[in-house]
Chains A and B, each alone.
Chain A
Amino acid sequence: MSANERLDAKGYGTYEFASDDFTFAYDENEKIIYKSYTASSYLADVLHAFLKNKGAVIGFIVIVIIAILALVGPMMNEHTYKSIIIEHASLVPRVPFLENFGIFDGVYKGSNQYLDKGFTDIYYWFGSDPQGRDIWTRVWEGTRISLIIAFTAVCIDIFIGMIYGLISGYFGGKVDMVMQRFAEILNGIPTLVVVTLLGLILPRGVTSIIFALMITGWIGMSRIARAQVLKLKEQEFILASKTLGAQHFRIIFKDILPNIFGQIIIMSMFSIPNAIFTEAFLSFVGLGVPAPMASLGSLISEGYKSLTTYPHVIVAPIVVLALLMLSFNLFADGLRDAFDPKMKQM
């Protein structure tokens, strides 16, 4: 029995309140400001939420910078991705101006490689590879090819996956059954096996890699599309459309499609780093783009051969690849949270 509790004459317990038993829920002195918000459009909301996410914005900026460099980088010096100057083989990076500060000064194991060979005014910004090719040019050329492969593969994935998912979800019943079993079986085959085997039978090149990526890539997309259709097709606006006599085609593509586009875009942003990774994997296994061409994966695989003697060859492509994948992941994360915070669970 605490100090505040007493027994009255009849023996019932009563409680005397002390002054500090209650506190105000709000500080009286604090002014409560009711902020009024003006109505903003959906896209403005999304943009606002996106800009608040620092990681996503940084990711986006890095992607843009890398994309610009991939476009103009190869043109920034006189070398091409396949021009070989054998006297310039295996030079470490040397950059004008920065060389005065003791970094990127062309010094390899204590002696300046460039000055030793008498190259006073030759600069390789990322160094040169053991065949005497400029790594700067090759890295941005490779980034471009990797990006092209990833974007094309993902676009095709969206196209096939969306149509497949829309049809399967919309018609339901037997159509859905058959289409889902087919997707399930295809999905049961590990991507690794599909991609390596296709890389093996097709002629080596960009198209083959895109095709190999596409074969299994669309399934994830179709799942999202199907799940969304199942959710949407029972809603009133679809019923209204049907009542007004709309055809299936119109309902699928005019009424349902615009509503699932957000999710599809988010999903595709997550697929791009995956595609870049798979391409790099293929190149590393030896099924990538053919020799004088460059992709991030093939550059890494080449650099790997001289890892212990000339580690600078592999640094640039690895850094670009890691940055690219990291940025795409951050960007996609931010986009997802901005578009639809509820999707986080998926």
Chain B
Amino acid sequence: MGKYITKRVLIAIFTLLVILFVLFVMLDKMPGSPFNDEKLTADQLALLNAKYGLDQPFMIRFINYVKCVIKFDFGVSYNIQKNLAVSSMLATRLPISIQIGLQAMVVGTIIGMLLGIIAALKRNTWIDTLCTGISVLGVSVPSYVIALGLAYFVGFKLGWFPILYNASKPFISTIMPTMALSLSPIANIARFTRSEMIEVLNSDYVLLAQSKGIKQYKLIINHVLRNTLISIITVMGPLLVGLLTGSMVIEKIFSIPGLGYLMVQAIQNNDYNVVMACAFIYSFLYIFVMLIVDILYGIIDPRIRVAKEGE
């Protein structure tokens, strides 16, 4: 187990380094300069480049960058909020994104599992068809279509929730984004829970428990649900990662001052440091979640560990 975890962690760290390098190369070659002011003369530009260390050779700049990233120092913003440290921008933006992401995940898991369990227990009835229908819709309709629909009908027509993020009502403002984001986890988890439950319900040990005359609710709670839960944990990682992509668009629609919206702004303003920091944070979250999932897989199901070691 120790060997397995070490290997996973090493791969994760290496991947992060590769990402940093790629980000650095790409942003280095990007058109546009952080100093887009036409009034600047060549001398002033040279001075600015020297001030921000942009005149150093490539590798030195890269090593400096990695050193700073480890200290969580992403430099200062060039354009969006001039001279403000990127890390402090991230510190105010990241919690909102994480809050909405987690809310969506919790809501999605609970509703998704309920739908899946009901569908599996009432298999091949209209309830099952309804639950399956909801999950097919949720899998195939992009979250921002739902978000726009909610914004128009619930936010604008009914006026129940604010359309745009309102800093004085932080929780109320996150309800619609959470609803929009949670649809995909609901659908995926419902689908997975249903198929997993049905498989468990058809297994020999459930048949044995049934023949021993165990009560229905006890059977479901003690035997079926427990074994279903284990597999559900495994799909939650990729879903969390999927929420990252969704959040960028959702945050733009509802003007939420989160990480995704910051990245969109930074892209449009050529704010290198901010783009890099956002991309790095996204990658870090992604790799971290995948690492946790991989390790959890290994702990939960030894077969996977053995198979991966033997790869």
For residue B251, give the distance in angstroms from its CB to the closest CB of chain A.
11
The answer to whether B19 and A307 touch across the interface, beta carbons within 8 angstroms, is no
Question: Which parts of A256-288 form the interface with B (CB within 8 Å)?
Answer: 273, 277, 280-281, 284-287
Chain A contacts with B in 164-199, Cβ cutoff 8 A: 180-181, 184-185, 188-193, 196-198
Q: Which residues of A contact B268 (CB under 8 A)?
A: 286
- In the complex, whether A214 has a CB less than 8 A from a CB of chain B is no
Nearest Cβ on chain A to B69's Cβ, whole angstroms = 15
Residues of the A chain whose Cβ atoms lie less than 8 Å from the Cβ of B29: 201
| Option from A185, A318, A325, A330 in Cβ contact (under 8 Å) with B11 | A185
Which chain A residues lie closer than 8 Å to B31 at the CB level?
201
Complex: chain A residue closest to B195, CB-CB: A344
B267 near A192: Cβ-Cβ < 8 Å: no
Please tell me if the beta carbons of A326 and B244 are within 8 angstroms of each other in the complex.
no
- B145 and A197 contact, CB distance less than 8 A: no
B138-181 CB mask vs A (1 if < 8 Å, else 0) is: 01111011001101100010000001000000000000000000
**Do B267 and A287 touch (CB < 8 A)?**
yes
Give the residues in chain B near A280, CB-CB below 8 Å.
Answer: 142, 144
With CB as the reference atom, state the residue of chain B lying closest to A281: B249
- Tell me if A318 and B248 are in contact (CB < 8 A): no
A188 contacts B141, C-beta separation under 8 Å = no
The DSSP consensus for interface residues of chain B is helix
Residue of B nearest to A273 (CB): B140
Binary interface encoding of chain B residues 205-217 relative to chain A, with 1 for a CB under 8 A from any of its CBs, else 0: 0000000000000
Q: Which of B235-287 contact A (CB under 8 A)?
A: 241, 244-245, 248-249, 252-253, 263-264, 267-268, 275, 279, 282-283, 286-287
Instruction: Choose among A185, A285, A287, A344 the residue that contacts B252 (Cβ–Cβ < 8 A).
Output: A285
Q: Using a Cβ–Cβ cut-off of 8 Å, how many residues does chain A contribute to the interface with B? A: 39
CB-based contact B151/A286 at 8 Å = no
Known pairs A185-B18, A322-B140, A322-B141; A285 contacts B267 (CB<8 A): yes
Of A200, A284, A328, the contact of B267 (CB 8 Å cutoff) = A200
Rounded to whole Å, the gap between the CB of A289 and the closest CB of chain B is: 16
| Cross-chain contact of A307 among B26, B139, B152, B286 (Cβ < 8 A) | B152
Q: Once the chains bind, are B136 and A318 in contact (CB under 8 Å)?
A: no
Please tell me if B311 contacts chain A, counting CB pairs below 8 Å.
Answer: yes
Determine the distance from Cα of A325 to Cα of B136 in the docked complex, in whole angstroms: 10
Contact, CB under 8 Å: B145 / A185: no
Give chain A residues whose Cβ lies under 8 Å from the Cβ of B279. Answer: 193, 196-197
Q: Are A314 and B264 also in contact (CB < 8 A) when A281-B245, A325-B140 are?
A: no
CB-based contact A285/B141 at 8 Å: no
Q: Contact at B136–A329, with CB atoms within 8 Å? A: yes
Interface of A, helix, strand, loop or mixed by DSSP: helix
Given contacts A185-B18, A325-B141, contact A285 B264 (CB under 8 A): yes
Contact flags A307-330 to B (C-beta < 8 A → 1, else 0): 110010010001001100110111
Tell me the minimal C-beta distance from B129 to chain A in angstroms: 11
Chain A residues with CB under 8 Å of B195's CB are 344
A284 to B, closest residue via Cβ: B249
In the assembly, what is the distance between CA of A329 and CA of B19, in Å? 32
Pair B267/A318 contact, Cβ less than 8 Å:
no
In contact, B263 and A330 (Cβ under 8 angstroms) = no
C-alpha spacing A344/B30, complex, angstroms = 43
Report the separation of the CA atoms of residues A209 and B244 in the bound assembly, to the nearest whole angstrom.
20
In the complex, whether B89 has a CB less than 8 A from a CB of chain A is: no
Residues of A near B287 (CB, < 8 A) are: 188
Instruction: Report chain A residues within 8 Å CB of B139.
Output: 329
Q: Are B142 and A325 in contact (CB under 8 A)?
A: yes
> Known interface pairs A284-B144, A304-B253. Does A196 touch B267 (Cβ–Cβ under 8 Å)?
yes
Q: Is B12 an interface residue (CB 8 A)?
A: yes
Distance from B4 Cβ to chain A, minimum over Cβ atoms (Å): 15
Q: With A285-B264, A308-B156 in contact, is A190–B241 under 8 Å at CB?
A: yes
Q: Does B137 contact A (CB under 8 A)?
A: yes
Establish whether residues B30 and A200, one from each chain, have CB atoms under 8 Å apart when the complex forms: yes
Is A326's CB under 8 angstroms from B156's CB?
Answer: no
Measured between beta carbons, the chain A residues less than 8 angstroms from B35 are none
Pick from A192, A198, A200, A344: contact of B248, CB under 8 Å: A192
Residue from A188, A189, A190, A318 in contact with B148 in the complex, judged by beta carbons closer than 8 Å: A318
Q: What would be 22 A-B contacts, judged by CB atoms less than 8 Å apart? A: A184-B15, A185-B11, A185-B14, A188-B12, A188-B286, A188-B287, A189-B286, A190-B244, A190-B245, A190-B282, A193-B23, A200-B26, A277-B142, A284-B252, A286-B267, A286-B268, A300-B144, A304-B148, A307-B151, A318-B145, A322-B142, A344-B195
For the complex of A and B, the 4 pairs showing the least CB-CB separation, nearest first, are A188-B15, A329-B140, A326-B140, A190-B286
Binding site for A on B (CB under 8 A): 11-12, 14-15, 18-19, 22-23, 26-27, 29-31, 136-137, 139-142, 144-145, 148-149, 151-152, 156, 163, 195, 241, 244-245, 248-249, 252-253, 263-264, 267-268, 275, 279, 282-283, 286-287, 290, 311
Q: A interface vs B, CB < 8 Å?
A: 55, 180-181, 184-185, 188-193, 196-198, 200-201, 273, 277, 280-281, 284-287, 300, 304, 307-308, 311, 314, 318, 321-322, 325-326, 328-330, 344
